Structure 1
Amino acid sequence: MKMKIGNPARNAGGKSAVFLVRTFIQTGAVLLASATLSTRGAEGLVGHYYSGYNVVSNRIVFEGLPLVSTQTNTVFDFWNGSRYHDWNPIGSGYYTVHWSGYLHITESGTYGFGTISDDGSEIWIDGRMVVDNNEEQWYDWQEAYCYLGAGYHTIEITLYEAESYSGIEVWWLQPSQGMSELPYTGETFHSTPPVFNSNTLWEILSAPAISTEAPFVNPYLMIHPGASTHTAALTWPGFTNVDYYLESSTTLTNWTGVGGAIPGISGIMTQTVNQAQPHTFFRLRLE
């Protein structure tokens, strides 16, 4: 049986998450001068469409399912706003879709991501789950927020269909838009289609913000306990022929440089830093 979980007009706190709750942060980056649109791949995300579905420990799993087709999608709007709509990209039957590629961020800041889907859906950025809308449900909305630095980030979107109606829309809210009302409202998605909110500043995720390849991907910055008190070791996968600049902040608003240029290498890079404050955030930019 499909159930509506929560009220889409509110932030469903049990599912939503903001990444900035630890003493590390996904990095910011400035693109290389040569990293222009001409060097990136085709616009859109590559979608692998599978027959059947598999959910393990409340996560959508596509490995082992029969692959039906592969196609590139540039606009993530596969729902016509009606609870009677049944989008089935493989023709008939249960299915799973796994989209993957890169998200091009031009402005560092806090981004919102959300899906309305039937059944479950997820959004993963840089290997971490951002949106958990994974229920066997009628069309349900879920959003979350995270900080992203300028540059390219990996993105994955998964969707599975278990029974009756199906479809998905993927939305995002850019920092320049500020706070916004959600795209849909409605107390009960089960019996009443949600109502589109024309005042929303959220936008359907689409090209050119997404691409199948990227010239550079923002480094995934991790923090580990240092060898002595109040120190930490930062690690990230490096690139050659670029310089990295490390910055720190306790407010996420004002950033201060830590040392000078760090020449890039092809491999895991490590930098030891002082961490006098209990909540210090770090980010990288590359030039």
Structure 2
Amino acid sequence: MEEKMTSNSQVSPEEGRQVVNVMEHVSEKALIEIVGDLSLEDKEFCEKETKQILELLSPKQFAALLLETVTVIDLFGAEQAGEIVVGRLVMNRKPKNKSVNVLAETILDVGMLVMLLAIPATVARHFGYEIEDFDGNPIPEDKLCVTVVIIDGQTRYLAIRKLREKYPSLVLSNVYAYFPLHWVGLTKMLQAINLKVFTWTNSDFISGLRGVGLKPEVEKALAYIQSLEQRGYNFTAACEWGTLVKGIIRKTLLVRAMNKPDADLEYENSEYAMDIHQEA
């Protein structure tokens, strides 16, 4: 009986390999759910660039690694010391002056309560995004390796800059930024932070498509529509002038394209439409 039980409980090498393969598949699937289907190569690049910033700043006590995984930067300390450049994504909406002023008064009253979320500029460029400083100037290529891009917290950063300009002697010693707790693609990161938290309207969804790999002619058409809206056209008129198709471009289509750049975005009359409008 004992021999029979032992024999029945044995697993063949082939069955063992199948069990291991299933376990590896489950682990891989769980990892993909966490990192947003980020390739291993991209993940390693993000981690390498994060480490480079940490190694640059930590000897001068402008950065630290907390709990073995969280990189925190003394953002203003490092910037004032000339160790880093602080930048932004060109495609991100610029905060309104009213919001900046209100937040500046709040920070003056209670101080900084929340850290900013940032990433190395080299990571932003790796994912195809354009970068500029907060005065609208492009950042030179040789400065990207020492540039930190604010992903969440532009209004706070500008509010602090305003306070520094208004009160030069004001000491703001707790302006910190942290790098993501785990890495996902930048487009997915921006969607998670902005699209699912704040209400986007009209061409904000077009801004969200920057750098996702659309066809050049589609990018050109969408950029033209956005430029018309910025010049005072309502969104419906801008869409109709940019595509020669009645009605607006639906946001559901634009959101779908954020995750799938080859989605059904085709504006075959856009080149003709732009020529007509410019001649009108």
Q: TM-score, normalised by structure 1?
A: 0.28
Greater fraction helix: 2
Greater fraction strand: 1
